[in-house]
Amino acid sequence: MDGKKLRELRFKHELTQKEMAKQLLITDAYLSQLETGARRISEKILYRIKREFF
């Protein structure tokens, strides 16, 4: 999953960055970096995404 897909997933669930970040146990600033591609999505975060949204 890349940042673009992560953002699309957030929009699909009608969440703000702050709301999604809280569900993933990360900061909204870190989520923003993931969405823009400034940071790579780790295995740990990917696991949390799958657990929460799939």
Model confidence over 38-53: pLDDT tens digits? 999 999 999 999 999 9
The reported pLDDT for the residue numbered 20 is 98
pTM of the shown model:
0.93
- Spatial CB neighbours of 25, under 8 Å, sequence gap ≥ 6: 48
Superfamily of domain 3-53: lambda repressor-like DNA-binding domains (1.10.260.40)
CA neighbor of 19 nearest in space, from 31, 36, 35, 1: 31
- Spatial CB neighbours of 46, under 8 Å, sequence gap ≥ 6: 1
